[in-house]
Amino acid sequence: MTPQQNRQHQIHQVIVTSAQMSAIEGRLFAAGMPVAALMEKVAQAVFQRVVALYPRPRVRRVGVLVGPGHNGGDALVVARELHFAGYEVRIYRPLAKSKELTGQHGEYVASLGVEFFDQIEPLLDCDLIVDGLFGFGLERSISGELAQGIDRLNEQSQPVISIDLPSGLHTDTGAVLGTAIQANHTFCLGLWKLGLFHDQALAYVGKAELIDFDIPVKDIQVVLGDRNPIHRITSAVALAHLPLPRPQLTHKYKEGHLLAICGSQRYMGAALLCGLGAKASGVGMLTIAVPKSLKPYMSQQLADALIVGCPETASGAIADLPDSIDLSSFDAIACGCGLTLDGMEVVQAVLDSDRPLILDADGLNALAQLGTIPTLSQRAAFTLLTPHPGEFKRLFPNAQDEAEDLVRALRRASEQSGAVVMLKQARTAIGYPDGSVWINPESTPALARGGSGDVLTGLSSGLMAQAIARKLPVEPLVQTAVWWHAQAAISAAGVRTELGVDAVMLSEYLLRVLPEFVRSGNDLERRSE
């Protein structure tokens, strides 16, 4: 890999807060980089992307929203360049005061004959809007006429490009402060800002891209250090572990033995979907424990898995595990998909075992009833919890105080429980007990469909069992599983549309996309030679 490629890999993984970004920029300025020169460099890069996406003459008239800070300064430089490139530019500058550099750019742009307005109306018939009202310096709620202007613009249909982040979003939490611009594109400057990856920001961000402006990696490292770094799961991160290497000299038990405890008469499909996800992982041996009345169904559907029928409650849930199951003989145990709370005793049994454990669905509900933190404090082995936000709140009731900042809540939950916590949402985030958080930046609403989580549990558990059998670190495979699951869904939705991807099909696409990963993984390796 060339040093440039290596840098790209590194910066695309980094996610920063507003305070961290200021500190990093502060280091560049302290080292002698003039503020005005940096603004010029950044804004030129933004201008190039604007022109590439919206060339003349398809787009003639561009409205530029200019705020009081350096986000507004960036916007004014873009406005100037668009003017010289032949676009008709109109500027909305709602606030009279501005920072000195922004004011200077404003004067010059006005001297070129570009029109400035303090009302939004003259911009409403523009073909394109560039939003430079606020960046990471937004510190309080937007209100009054400015808020009305933004709301008015959001009713319009022309495309909007936001510089750095959609104005009105909190840089760290993605919360809407009063109101916010609904962008079609967000050109995030220098480093990815944390707020863009919160689910609550998704409706505002549009398609996000990073505009690199050559921040030296050493400055990023000095500011971020090892304290609680937040990362994006990039393809390079996920493909570092995919596919798992399989030596010539091996056998099925060396490639991981997973026990999945799942299903009930009420939720038969959940057991199957977990099994299909596990199967796609390539795990060497798959044993699935289900209520005994489900055994014929499961055996027919999954010929390659060993199906164990368990004693059953009157309600059709697993009452307990049969003596034939020796928990200590498995590399990993997945428990919970479709179990119902009547299967609670089994959850207690697997929590008591010394095996690496993945808990989902009713496994999590059972854990919440037992008391998450005290129960997990008894466990020494690796534990992965895979809640959706509803289950997360049940597991960690105190997290509700931080409903707007789920990343912070996730980090705390993981640190306090000692478990790896995969918070499944539109942009799934994984918290690790060391305080680090990994966020999957790319997914599809095709996954918002019953059963897709069961497939993910199976996939994650299967990967985990293989890693444990092979004595590889398991933690990074949680990232790989989330990424692989989302990429399979994206690929399936590309062929079948977002409405056409059911969970069985999703499990098939897990395998269909794998050869592509092998090829790109090989490419990455070749480049590094």
Strand, coil or helix: 302:
coil
Nearer to ligand ADP (CB atom), residue 171 or residue 444: 444
What's the angle, vertex CA 407, arms to CA 270 and CA 204, rounded to 5? 90
Task: Note whether 167 and 102 are within 8 A (CB).
Answer: no
443 lines the binding site for ligand ADP (CB under 6 A): yes
Footprint on this chain of ligand NAX (rule: CB under 6 A): 25, 35, 38-39, 42, 67-72, 74, 95, 99, 134-142, 163-164, 189-190
Structure tokens, 136: 């990471």
424 annotated to bind ligand: yes
Residue 361 interacting entry, from ligand ADP, K ion, ligand NAX, none, C-beta within 5 to 8 Å by type: ligand ADP
State how far the Cα of 76 lies from the Cα of 74, in Å rounded to an integer. 5
What's the angle, vertex CA 320, arms to CA 319 and CA 326, rounded to 5? 160
167 lines the binding site for K ion (CB under 5 A): yes
Structure tokens, 341: 């709370």
163 lines the binding site for K ion (CB under 5 A): yes
Instruction: Name the minimum Å distance from CB 164 to ligand NAX.
Output: 4
Contacts of 39 (CB under 8 A, 6+ apart): 70, 73, 74, 77, 101
393 lines the binding site for ligand ADP (CB under 6 A): no
Q: Restricting to residues 34-73, which ones interact with K ion according to CB under 5 A?
A: 71
Number of residues forming the site for ligand ADP (CB under 6 A):
17
Nearer to ligand NAX (CB atom), residue 100 or residue 516: 100
Going by the DSSP 8-state scheme, the letter that residue 254 receives in this structure is G
Q: Restricting to residues 423-442, which ones interact with ligand ADP according to CB under 6 A?
A: 424-426, 428
Instruction: Name the minimum Å distance from CB 505 to K ion.
Output: 39
Paired residues of 128 in beta bridges:
62
Nearer to ligand NAX (CB atom), residue 149 or residue 356: 149
Residue nearest to ligand ADP according to CB distances in the complex: 453
Residue 162 interacting entry, from K ion, ligand NAX, ligand ADP, none, C-beta within 5 to 8 Å by type: K ion
Q: Restricting to residues 249-278, which ones interact with ligand ADP according to CB under 6 A?
A: none
Nearer to ligand NAX (CB atom), residue 1 or residue 101: 101
Structure tokens, 186: 């967000």
36 lines the binding site for ligand ADP (CB under 6 A): no
Q: Which of 34, 311, 450, 500 binds ligand ADP (CB under 6 A)?
A: 450
Residue nearest to ligand NAX according to CB distances in the complex: 135
Q: What's the count of helices (H) and strands (E) in the chain, helices before strands? A: 20, 19
136 annotated to bind ligand: yes
Residue 128 interacting entry, from K ion, ligand ADP, ligand NAX, none, C-beta within 5 to 8 Å by type: none
DSSP for 419-451, written as a single string:
SEEEE-STT-EEE-TTS-EEE-----GGG-STT
Residue 425 interacting entry, from K ion, ligand NAX, ligand ADP, none, C-beta within 5 to 8 Å by type: ligand ADP
Residue 447 interacting entry, from ligand ADP, ligand NAX, K ion, none, C-beta within 5 to 8 Å by type: ligand ADP
Q: Which of 18, 102, 158, 162 binds K ion (CB under 5 A)?
A: 162
Structure tokens, 11: 């910066």
State how far the Cα of 239 lies from the Cα of 477, in Å rounded to an integer. 10
DSSP for 155-219, written as a single string:
TS-S-EEEESS-TTB-TTT--BSS-----SEEEEESSEEGGGGSGGGHHHH-EEEEE-----HHH
Nearer to ligand ADP (CB atom), residue 43 or residue 421: 421
First to last CA, the chain: 7
444 lines the binding site for ligand ADP (CB under 6 A): yes
Q: Which of 62, 123, 268, 361 binds ligand ADP (CB under 6 A)?
A: 361
CA 16 to chain centre: 14
270 annotated to bind ligand: yes
427 annotated to bind ligand: yes
Task: Note whether 342 and 328 are within 8 A (CB).
Answer: no
394 lines the binding site for ligand ADP (CB under 6 A): no
90 lines the binding site for ligand ADP (CB under 6 A): no
Helix orientation angle between 217-224 and 18-30, rounded to the nearest 10 degrees: 130
Task: Note whether 513 and 488 are within 8 A (CB).
Answer: yes
454 annotated to bind ligand: yes
Sign of CA pseudo-dihedral 475, 262, 489, 426: negative
Residues lying near ligand ADP in the complex (CB under 6 A) are found at: 361, 388, 424-426, 428, 443-445, 447-448, 450-454, 456
List binding-site positions: 70-74, 131, 135-141, 164, 167, 270, 338, 388, 424-428, 453-454
List binding-site positions for (6S)-NADPHX: 70-74, 135-141, 164, 270, 338, 388, 454
List binding-site positions for K(+): 71, 131, 167
